[in-house]
Amino acid sequence: MAKQFDVVVIGAGPGGYIAAIRAAQLGMSVACIDAWSTADGKPAPGGTCTNVGCIPSKALLQSSEHYDQANHHFAEHGIEVKGVGLKLDTLVGRKDSVVKQNNEGILYLFKKNKVTFFHGTGSFAAYVDGGWSIKVAGASEEDLLAKHVIVATGSAPRALPGLPFDEKKILSNDGALSLGAVPKKLGVIGAGVIGLELGSVWRRLGAEVTVLEAMPDFLAVADQQVAKEALKVFTKQGLKISTGVKIGEVKTTAKSVTVPYTDASGAEQSLAVDNLIVSIGRVPHTQGLGVDTVGLKLDERGFVIVDDECKTNLPNVWAVGDVVRGPMLAHKAEEEGVAVAERISGQHSHVNFGTIPSVIYTSPEIAWVGRNEQQLKTEGVAYKAGSFPFLANGRARALGDTTGFVKILADAKTDEVLGVHIIGPMASELISEAVTIMEFRGAAEDIARICHAHPTLSEAMKEAALAVDKRTLNF
Ligand code: FAD
Ligand code: NAI
């Protein structure tokens, strides 16, 4: 006899596990199926984000930043450290234990919220009277019957054609988070978010890192003033970044990887490295889901097709997160998961794609929300811009980290904030204020009038808002 549930969620990444918890909070009977396992076969819910994404990358970024500070910046504070050493196995082991705590945290949350968890692969078997028959295969073998199904099966790294990941020499994010030794020379293909974050980790730990990017502009998705500043700072830190390249046929031997490429001027080049990270984007993951069995429609790139409410072409089948259109971000997946659970329960929830923040956790951090100057110009929107440098911020000076600035773009007529772009210390935390203001459709003047604690980095946000009206107080 199949076990019956109001909602079965397939995938326990940030989209799936959050949807499951929210649906359970709303009084529905909920099951969540997830296939991810630890090396010894135990369940590892949390998806890409917890296991090989957001969490482990931030753990390594933190550790490597400490190492960099101890090596290069403690002296400025009068702290003498002699013989700074690196125990990579401890550093990577700490990252693994942070991941484990998060896996266990999600299992605890499932128990607390009475979500039934199945460890295995979930697939559509058929549409039967009253709902969807879902098979679980693997560690748990079960037949489930669901009134509603939420597909949250996430994404997988995109490989270069003809160059599969072996996770030893040719690394996806997975292998790049678990190297056993610091490479002398590390190549990175793709100067996107993963390339810059993980490239920074291994550079700080001592690798000579070269990043090869196909697009002519560096960080084309960011505001170009921010991108220019970032390129300057990263280059000064030692990342070698080439844009406008065309990658040739990569050759791998037991010892090294050779990457032939044509540079922006058209000259043939060759890069020899110990390891190569390929971070050229991710593809939606629907393997093993039984898409064809039930006719779940995918677009030409393999994303599950959904409408604005995350409804698929099948009745009572929803899809959220990386497996559907929109930015591949954990917080976007979570918001969609919550909204779908609430819609199933009859509420009219909404996800505002215009206020989803983006963050790159390099040093300095980069964060933005809303539209950038290039976009506003293309759209012909009349805007005012106000910037404030961290160099003029007291807290940033005290921290010893004055790189970057906050830039606010506001509507020329109404003063409504249209976009906020930050490069600088703790940009990831500072951006929340901008998101809040934009959610309430506030004006630059609103930020300027809000009392910000002194001395804080957030005062740079207030000053940038004052700059929109050309009345900064500290610059
Ligand atoms: P996923 O997290 O991919 O989870 C999908 C889950 O479904 C997986 O556990 C998978 O095993 C399971 N699954 C798939 N098919 C089946 C099946 N048939 N049956 C059962 N289970 C199945 N985003 C941020 O917002 N901030 C960051 O700092 C950040 N850092 C990142 C760093 C790296 C290195 C990477 C790779 C990504 C990062 N991301 C970050 C992106 C973020 O990880 C994803 O956007 C997020 O994980 C998407 O969540 P999801 O629930 O849609 O899918
Ligand atoms: P990305 O889309 O951020 O960057 C990929 C880069 O590779 C782009 O700049 C692209 O122009 C370049 N590229 C593509 N094909 C190429 C080729 N053949 N040769 C050279 N360059 C090429 O993708 P990335 O870094 O792989 O990350 C995947 C996803 O994970 C992103 O969508 C991101 O949203 C998410 N992520 C988010 C993080 C965060 O929020 N801090 C951290 C890491 C990943």
Residue 116's pLDDT is: 98
Pair (195, 139) in one structural domain:
no
Pair (313, 455) in one structural domain:
no
The mean per-residue pLDDT over the stretch 214-235 comes to: 98
Q: Within a domain: residue 185?
A: yes
Q: Within a domain: residue 162?
A: no
Pair (461, 430) in one structural domain:
yes
Q: Ligand 2 in contact with 322 (CB < 6 A)?
A: no
The mean per-residue pLDDT over the stretch 25-33 comes to: 98
Each residue of 175-207: pLDDT tens digit?
A: 999 999 999 999 999 999 999 999 999 999 999
Q: Within a domain: residue 426?
A: yes
Q: Within a domain: residue 414?
A: yes
The phi, psi pair for 179, rounded to 5°, reads: -60, 140
Q: Which sign does the torsion angle of CA 443, 449, 454, 459 carry?
A: positive
**pTM score, whole prediction:** 0.98
Each residue of 360-417: pLDDT tens digit?
A: 999 999 999 999 999 999 999 999 999 999 999 999 999 999 999 999 999 999 999 9
The two beta strands, 142-151 and 3-10, are parallel
Each residue of 304-344: pLDDT tens digit?
A: 999 999 999 999 999 999 999 999 999 999 999 999 999 99
The last residue of one of the domains, among 261, 280, 299, is 280
pLDDT band for position 241 (cuts 50, 70, 90)? very high
Q: Which CATH number is 361's domain given?
A: 3.30.390.30
Buried b (16+ CB within 10 A) or exposed e, 241-265: bbbbbebeebeeeeebbbbebeeee
Q: Ligand 1 in contact with 16 (CB < 6 A)?
A: yes
Pair (22, 63) in one structural domain:
yes
The two tokens of residue 260 are 């032939």
The mean per-residue pLDDT over the stretch 3-21 comes to: 98
Q: Within a domain: residue 131?
A: yes
Residue 120's pLDDT is: 97
Pair (342, 363) in one structural domain:
no
pLDDT reading at 130 higher than 90: no
The 10 Å Cβ neighbour count of residue 305 is 14
The last residue of one of the domains, among 260, 280, 300, is 280
Quote the ligand 2 centre to 407 CA distance (angstroms): 24
Contact predicate 418/441, CB 8 Å:
no
Pair (179, 152) in one structural domain:
no
Active site includes 454?
Answer: yes
Pair (140, 30) in one structural domain:
yes
Q: Within a domain: residue 418?
A: yes
Quote the ligand 1 centre to 13 CA distance (angstroms): 5
pLDDT reading at 140 higher than 90: no
Residue 79's pLDDT is: 97
Rounded percentage of the chain residues whose pLDDT exceeds 70: 100
Q: Distance (Å, rounded) from C-alpha 265 to C-alpha 268? A: 9
pLDDT band for position 286 (cuts 50, 70, 90)? very high
Q: Within a domain: residue 387?
A: yes
* Numbered residues of the known binding site for NAD(+): 190-197, 213, 281
Quote the ligand 1 centre to 153 CA distance (angstroms): 8
Q: Ligand 1 in contact with 389 (CB < 6 A)?
A: no
Structural domain boundaries, residue 326: 3-157+283-351
pLDDT reading at 139 higher than 90: no
pLDDT band for position 221 (cuts 50, 70, 90)? very high
Pair (15, 149) in one structural domain:
yes
Pair (8, 144) in one structural domain:
yes
pLDDT reading at 234 higher than 80: yes
Each residue of 34-53: pLDDT tens digit?
A: 999 999 999 999 999 999 99
What value does the CA radius of gyration of the chain take, rounded to a whole number of Å? 24
- Of 140, 134, 155, the C-alpha closest to 30 is 134
Pair (266, 306) in one structural domain:
no
* Numbered residues of the known binding site: 58, 122, 153-155, 190-197, 213, 281, 322, 328-331
Each residue of 348-362: pLDDT tens digit?
A: 999 999 999 999 999
The last residue of one of the domains, among 328, 351, 374, is 351
Pair (191, 247) in one structural domain:
yes
The average confidence (pLDDT) of the chain is: 97
Q: Hey, which of 95, 134, 153, 198 would you mutate to test ligand 1's pocket, going by the most ligand atoms within 8 Å of its Cβ?
A: 153
Q: Within a domain: residue 116?
A: yes
Q: Which CATH number is 152's domain given?
A: 3.50.50.60
Pair (189, 113) in one structural domain:
no
The phi, psi pair for 122, rounded to 5°, reads: -100, 135
Rounded percentage of the chain residues whose pLDDT exceeds 90: 99
Number of structural domains (the chain) is 3
pLDDT band for position 1 (cuts 50, 70, 90)? confident
Q: Distance (Å, rounded) from C-alpha 362 to C-alpha 62? A: 10
